[in-house]
Amino acid sequence: MSTTQSERLRGLLEPLVTARQLDLEEIEVSRAGRRRVLRIIVDSDDGVELDACAELSRAVSETLDETDAMGEGEYVLEVSSPGADRPLTEHRHFVRAVGRLVRFRLEEGGELVARVLGVDDEGLDLEVPGVKGRKATARRVGFPEIAKARVEIEFNRKDKKEEEEA
């Protein structure tokens, strides 16, 4: 997708997304046979419900039908939330990961798996799980130290709603 088309789509769609208290994370146009696929990824601090994606999809579809932003050819529109394994790249991604276990690849080399306890403008406060019966330890990591970060999937983790009910 050309930069101008990407910028035009972002400018056109971002107001629709923010009006629903969502963040526009990504816009991607790709080919699937003769058709193009427009993928719009949205998120919020509380996650994204399926109904919100459906409502946004209808609004985006109407807006795109009223403009020539996608050109003349056919396209498929997909509106979804980011996958659980998407990389954490923005400050807001780390804020949303508070309480979650995250795998970090560090700029200095090596990996670290730790639970995010807090986030500020300079970095993260982490709890590194203990190994072989040892206690967990606290660690501070600055944003410049992080090469890559991704949430680890935990199947037995309680979500915020379960914790609030308990």
Q: What are phi and psi of 14, to 5 degrees?
A: -55, -40
Enumerate the domain spans of the chain. Answer: 3-80, 91-165
| Same topology between domain 3-80 and domain 91-165 | no
Q: Tell me the pLDDT band of 166, cut-offs 50, 70 and 90.
A: very low
State the average pLDDT over residues 87-115.
93
Length of the chain equals 166
pLDDT for 126 beyond 90: yes
Express each pLDDT in 32-64 by its tens digit.
Answer: 888 889 999 999 888 889 999 999 999 999 999
The tokens for 42 are 């949205």
Nearest in space to 126 (alpha carbons), one of 150, 144, 102:
102
Backbone phi, psi, residue 12, to 5°: -75, -40
Query: Token pair for residue 146?
Result: 């992080």
Q: Hey, which CATH number is domain 3-80, 3.30.300.70, 2.40.37.10, 3.40.50.2000, 3.30.70.270?
A: 3.30.300.70
CATH annotation of 91-165: 2.30.30.100
